[in-house]
Structure formats: structure tokens, C-alpha cells
Amino acid sequence: MPKPSTIDRGAAAGDLERMLRPGQVSTDAAVLDEYAQDDAEWADFTPPVAVVFAETADDVAAVVRYAGASGLSVVPRGAGTGLSGGANALVDSIVLSLERMTRIVEVNRAERYVRAEPGVINDVLREAVAEHGLWYPPDPASYKISTIGGNAATNAGGICCVKYGVTRDYVLGLTVVLADGSIVELGRRTAKGVTGYDLTALMVGSEGTLGIIVELTLKLLPLAGREERAVVGTFGSLEAAGEAVAAISAAGIVPSALEIIDRTCIEAVEAWQHLGLPQGADTLLLAKVDDVGARGDELVASVAARMAEAGALGVERATDPDEVDRLFLARRLAYPSLERLGPVLTEDICVPRGAVPEMLGRIRATAAEHDVVIANIAHAGDGNLHPLIIAPEGDDAAKARAKIAFDRIVDDCRALGGTVTGEHGVGLLKLPGARSELGERVLGMHRAIKDALDPHGVLNPGKAFPA
């Protein structure tokens, strides 16, 4: 049971309004409701004392200092696209939105990095650096609406991370506001550097519990030298598609993307967007290869052969860029398409690649056992699976069964040597699973780090790891 509030909400909001500029603080009920939670279904939240729209690093520092002196906490928020409750407001909290901090400060073509504020949308940054012949690889499915700061706070992955890595692999440096309101520079702008502990990597994925990111320095790659082609396998079952994934991995093939979408997703996307997807297929396995020339041809042929050997009902190749984009758009649209069917409880487990077939089979068995609808999308190439449990609006019995299925999937993932979150973060939804995975000694290390950097629990308390 959360403790009751002892804060004079009106007085706190008035203080914040006097500290900041007109239009930066809102206590409007509709705004408080909108900013009280992220996109995670069923994660707890409480309306915040106020929503503050920071415009500078100094704004962030001022709010953090005020919160620390007033017994309030600060919940940092990007675009609110998170799926674990990591940006949900709790009792006596200020939601600190960074969405107005949208400057791209510098694009350095010679050194291949970009400096940007946390509110820059992923796709906006990608387009901006592309004008300089550069590429920022991490591409979460929400890349058109999620922010770079939020991506770093959760160490977001994406469709191409199987080959190119996740957000942490591209963060060279950060400017961070700490819990006492001080502003520190972490990391570097050079290609190499090992001075001191890697505090930059510590901040990435910490879900705003150790510091608030107000600027990022991100490594870039050359845009040229890629030639995208797709291979699409149609399968009669999730398990067969999983066997193909395991075979591709065992053969040492590293596609630039390897994604699964099942029948429920295909039908939901097609009903909404009419993309002309194959109908009647149980599961599609989408592979993308971006190597050029003969090497690319060889990899495409190898991927297609592994799909066929795993029992694909059909294997097709696509080289036209528009066709490749259309196929992968279906994968990106799967989640919002399913949301149209009812509230979605999103899993984010990651298992060893060789365990993908077994895990997919267990997910299907769990759906049958608990009489719930579970759609499946997956970054299958790195074992990151996203079972999506759908419960009809207002059906409390279905919601209860969905929660049991959610916990069962987490347990099965752990039993197969997996982790309870691959890229969405622990937030609130995965706290029980994180406790089981980390164990008390490692949790103690987490608490020691939190206590060292945020002894009064000002920054996003109760998230990322169990207290």
C-alpha cells in the first residue's frame, strides 16, 4: 500500500511556476492524466503534482534541486512510448518532460558523431545525420515517435540490432543532471577511451534512476555501403519459424534483421493498413541482408536455404526498396494494430537464440492453457521475443488470466537461460522477474549504486530494480 501524500500540491505547483517560465508548468487535470503513465498496460500510476516541460539543462537541474528540498520525486519522461511503466508517476512526483529539448547541437562528419538533446525523435536524428552521409543504426519499432533520450534510458534495441547492436553501443558520452542538481559530463567524443569507470554505460539503461540525460553524444556509421534485400519465409507454425531462426544463427549467418510476426499480427496489420500481406500464413519470418555484391547474394541464398530446410511453406526474395520497406513496415505496425483489438500486455523476454523454438512453443502452450490470445512478434535474430497478450476491454476474468500467463512466460524464459527484459526496461511491470533474475547479492550492488548517486530517492524511485 503506497504511503499517503503529505505534500501541499498547490503550493508545490506555485513554486515551480515561479521558478520557471510561463507555459512550462501544468496542473491541468487532462495534462496530469495524459502524462501520468507511459504505454504500459496495467502498470500502476498516480497523477503527478505537476508536469514540467523542461527546455534547458538548467531547467532540469532547478526542478531536481527543488524536488530534493521539498520531499518530492522526479519522473523523467521522453515521448511516453515506454512499455514497462518506467515513466509512470507515483505519489508526490513531478513528471519532468524532456520533449521540448529538441536541438541537434552538432553533426561532426569527420569524427562521425552527433550531439543532440534528449527530446529529439529517433527518426528526426536519423534523417538529419543522413544529410551528412552518416547513419545512426538503433531503430526501435517506435523510431518515428520515440526520443533519443528515452532510447538511451532504456537501452532500446530495434529491428537491425541483431547485426548493428543496441543504443548503448552508440553512446559515446552524456551530459547528465544528478540527484543533487549538479550537471556532469560523462564519456568522450573520441573513438577510444578508458579513463575511469564506464559511467556512460552505467547511465544507459538505468531508466532515469541515477541521473537525467540532457545531452547525448552518439557514434555514427557511414551511410553508404549497404544494399538491402529481404527474404520472406512463410511457415505453418511459430515453432517451425523458430527452427529456421536457430538454424540461421547456428550457421553463423548475421542478417541485418530477422523478425517474426504471427497470424494474429498479420491479420491485425492487414485489417488496419491493407498492405497486401500474405493471408492464411501462420507465421512470417522476415530476414534482411544489407551486404553488397556477391557477399550479399551468398547470404540471401544461405538464409533462404535455411528457411526451406526448416520446413518453410514458401520462400520469396525481395530486392525492390519499396517492397522491403513494406514488409518491415508490417513488423513495425504490429503493436499499434493489436492495440486496436483491446488492451495489450507486452512481454519483452530474451532467450538464447538456440532456445527460440522451445520458447515459442511454450508461449503457444501458455496461451492455450490459460485461454488467452497471445500474438507474437520478435527480434528473433537475437532471441528477443515480444509476446503480446490481448484482453478484451472490461473483461476482468480475461485480464486476470493474462496476468497469470505473463508471469508464466517470464518463468519459462528464465528456465531456458533468458532474461526478463531485452530492451523495454524493468520499469514497474518486470520488478518481480528482476528480483528472481538478479538475486539478493546483485540487488545489493544496485542499491549501493543508487544510494551513492541518489541517497534521498529523488530520481524515478521504485523503477529499474526491486527496492
pLDDT digits (tens, 9 = 90+) for 136-159: 999 999 999 999 999 999 999 999
Residue 319, pLDDT > 90, answer no
pLDDT at position 2 over 60:
no
What size, in residues, is the chain? 467
Q: Are 118 and 148 in contact (CB under 8 A)?
A: yes
CB atoms within 10 A of CB 25: 22
Residue 52 and residue 46: Cα distance in Å, rounded? 16
Measure Cα distances from 161 to 12, 113, 155, 257 in Å. 43, 19, 11, 7
- Does residue 448 or residue 343 have the better pLDDT? 448
The reported pLDDT for the residue numbered 235 is 96
Tell me the per-residue pLDDT of 209-249, one tens digit each, with 9 for 90 and over.
Answer: 999 999 999 999 999 989 999 999 999 999 999 999 999 99
The per-residue pLDDT for 322 is 87
With CA atoms as reference, report the closest residue to 374 among 359, 383, 364, 360. Answer: 364
H-helix or E-strand spanning residue 201: helix 199-203
- Pick left, alpha or beta for residue 427 (phi over 0 → left; psi -120 to 50 → alpha; otherwise beta): left
Q: pLDDT of 327-351, one tens digit each?
A: 888 888 998 999 888 889 999 999 9
Confidence bin at 1 (pLDDT 50/70/90)? very low
Please state, as a whole number, how many other Cβ atoms lie within 10 Å of the Cβ of residue 107.
18
In the predicted structure, residue 117 carries a pLDDT above the cut 70: yes
Q: Which domains does the chain have, with CATH numbers?
A: 9-97 (3.30.43.10), 104-222 (3.30.465.10), 229-415 (3.40.462.10)
Region 288-292: mean pLDDT is 95
At which residue does the C-alpha cell 519483452 appear?
A: 348
For residue 318, give the C-alpha cell: 525481395
Q: Which of 73, 75, 61, 257 is nearest to 165 (CA)?
A: 257
pLDDT score, position 3: 61
Average pLDDT over residues 119-124: 98
Give every CB contact of residue 442 below 8 A, 6+ residues apart in sequence. Answer: none
